[in-house]
């Protein structure tokens, strides 16, 4: 497996390239960048800053990785972008490094699909098997858990969490945490629209587990009791089920509020 570097590419002296890397026309790789085995930079990709990238990632034209964050509090600290393995990073994606006030790290896990024009701001943490559709935008300090799907043209407010296997509808403006395993409709301040049943089935959740999780969903989101009472009631019915407990713990630890269903007051 040989490395191919186009003659128009610019690679700084201190950059580290793995085996079998392809660097296409007019790409720029700066001195503090580490690029893992089998990565492909198609053309016009610029990777800067203190950026560490794993193996077998594909970067499409005009992706911009590791340039200084769009944060007025940033003062040149040597913060990082760390990207795992097997990611597809499409055209015009931007990923900014962390800041001193946010842990000095922006991290993207493994096997994610970042479609065109996705923006991942400073200090974001993106898990594995995540899909960010075209023009999805993460503000600073956002955490996206494994398997989540963010619809196109959606914007996630800073410091929020999107739970495991949650699905956010297109053109959403998310201003509160989205619980794991749940769906949201599109639009500004969207409401929950039930469980992500298809996504859960793909993860091997059976019919009995789904019925149980629906009961926990009802207790957490369709009761008029206080949050503490709802959480307590859900815990009493959780039966140590891992999916149920994960959903309950997520809701109980939310600091910015949780997206809930619309309640019909008629």
Q: Is 249 left (phi over 0), alpha (psi -120 to 50) or beta?
A: alpha
Contact 110, 92 (CB under 8 A): no
116 & 228 share domain: no
User: Do 102 and 223 fall into the same domain?
Assistant: no
Does residue 245 lie in a domain region? yes
- Is residue 35 within 8 A of residue 52, CB to CB? The reply is no
Any idea what the CATH number is for the domain that residue 119 is in?
2.160.10.10
Residue 210 belongs to some domain of the structure:
yes
As given in the structure block, the two tokens for residue 57 are 């990632």
- 134 and 18 share one domain: yes
Residues 89, 208 within the same domain:
no
Q: What is the pLDDT along the chain (266 residues), one digit of tens a residue?
A: 799 999 999 999 999 999 999 999 999 999 999 999 999 999 999 999 999 999 999 999 999 999 999 999 999 999 999 999 999 999 999 999 999 999 999 999 999 999 999 999 999 999 999 999 999 999 999 999 999 999 999 999 999 999 999 999 999 999 999 999 999 988 999 999 999 999 999 999 999 999 999 999 999 999 999 999 999 999 999 999 999 999 999 999 999 999 999 875 43
- Report pLDDT for 265: 43
In a domain, 204, yes or no: yes
Six-digit token pair at 99? 């800041």
CA distance 46 to 250: 37
Catalytic residues: 122-123, 140
Long-range contacts of 258-261 (CB under 8 A, 24+ apart): 258/176, 258/177, 258/178, 258/179, 259/174, 259/176, 259/177, 259/178, 259/179, 259/182, 259/184, 259/190, 259/191, 259/192, 260/191, 260/192, 260/221, 261/191, 261/192, 261/193, 261/194, 261/221, 261/222
| 265 part of a folded domain | no
Do residue 121 and residue 206 come from a single domain?
no
Range(s) of the domain holding residue 106: 4-144
According to DSSP H, which parts of 151-265 are helical?
A: 197-202, 207-221, 227-236, 242-252
Residue 171 located in a structural domain: no
Q: Are 136 and 120 in contact (CB under 8 A)?
A: no
Is residue 182 assigned to a domain? no
pLDDT tens for residues 213-252?
A: 999 999 999 999 999 999 999 999 999 999 999 999 999 9
Whether this prediction's pTM lies above 0.95 is answered by: yes
Residue 117 lies in a domain: yes
Query: Rounded to the nearest 5°, which phi and psi values hold at 194?
Result: 105, -170
Could you tell me if residue 194 is inside a domain?
A: no
Question: What is the tally of structural domains in the chain?
Answer: 2
Domain termination site, one of 108, 123, 144: 144
């Amino acid at each position: 497996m040989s490395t191919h570097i186009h003659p128009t590419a610019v690679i700084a002296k201190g950059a580290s390239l793995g085996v079998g890397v392809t660097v296409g026309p007019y790409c720029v790789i700066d001195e503090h960048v580490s690029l893992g085995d089998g990565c492909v930079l198609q053309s016009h990709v610029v990777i800067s800053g203190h950026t560490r990238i794993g193996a077998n990632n594909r970067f499409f034209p005009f992706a911009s990785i590791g340039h200084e964050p769009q944060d007025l509090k940033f003062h040149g600290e040597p913060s990082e972008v760390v990207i795992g393995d097997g990611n597809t990073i499409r055209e015009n994606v931007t990923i900014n490094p962390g800041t001193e006030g946010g842990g000095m790290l922006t991290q993207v896990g493994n096997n994610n699909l970042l479609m065109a024009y996705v923006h991942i701001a400073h200090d974001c943490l993106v898990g594995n098997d995540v899909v960010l559709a075209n023009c999805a935008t993460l503000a600073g300090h956002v955490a996206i858990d494994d398997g989540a799907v963010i619809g196109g043209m959606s914007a996630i407010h800073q410091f929020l969490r999107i739970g495991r296997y949650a699905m956010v509808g297109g053109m959403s403006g998310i201003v509160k945490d989205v619980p794991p395993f749940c769906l949201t409709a599109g639009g500004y301040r969207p409401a929950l629209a039930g469980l992500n049943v298809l996504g859960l089935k793909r993860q091997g959740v059976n019919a009995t587990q789904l019925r149980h999780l629906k009961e926990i969903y009802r207790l957490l989101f369709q009761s008029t009791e206080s949050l503490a009472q709802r959480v307590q009631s859900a815990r009493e019915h959780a039966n140590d089920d891992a999916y149920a407990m994960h959903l309950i713990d997520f809701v109980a630890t939310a600091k910015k509020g949780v997206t809930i269903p619309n309640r019909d007051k008629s």
